[in-house]
């Protein structure tokens, strides 16, 4: 996943569910970004490239392993905290091509 460092929008931490091997974290996202987020696709949250494990109309979820929680700022984020989001640039290119193709 190519992370360019461009913020496409701001999301919010909705929930954190600790598990045995990882923690499921759900984020809310702006409606204009939802079409670019797909299950098993990529998204950057606060500059960290992650794989989407589940997606809804206005949210997505990722699984964070202990190393990611420790080595990034995501381990300190709590429900209600804002986060910067960068969607997959390839998804944006495909959407643009589909919009402009007659």
Tens of pLDDT, residue by residue over 31-65, are 999 999 999 999 999 999 999 999 999 999 999 99
Q: How many whole angstroms separate alpha carbon 86 and alpha carbon 36? A: 10
* Reported confidence tier of residue 98, pLDDT bands at 50, 70, 90: confident
What are the structural domains of the chain?
A: 9-100 (2.40.30.20)
pTM of the model: 0.88
- What average pLDDT score do residues 9-25 get? 95
In whole angstroms, give the CA distance from residue 52 to residue 98: 23
């Amino acid at each position: 996943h190519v992370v360019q460092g461009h913020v496409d929008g701001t999301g919010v931490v909705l929930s954190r569910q600790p598990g045995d091997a990882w923690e499921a974290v759900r984020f809310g996202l702006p409606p204009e970004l939802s079409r670019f987020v797909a299950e098993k696709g990529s998204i950057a949250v606060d500059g960290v490239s992650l794989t989407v494990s589940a997606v809804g109309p206005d949210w997505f979820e990722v699984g964070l392993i202990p190393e990611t929680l420790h080595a990034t700022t995501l381990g300190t984020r709590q429900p209600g905290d804002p986060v910067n989001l960068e969607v997959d640039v390839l998804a944006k290119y495909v959407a643009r091509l589909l919009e402009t193709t007659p």
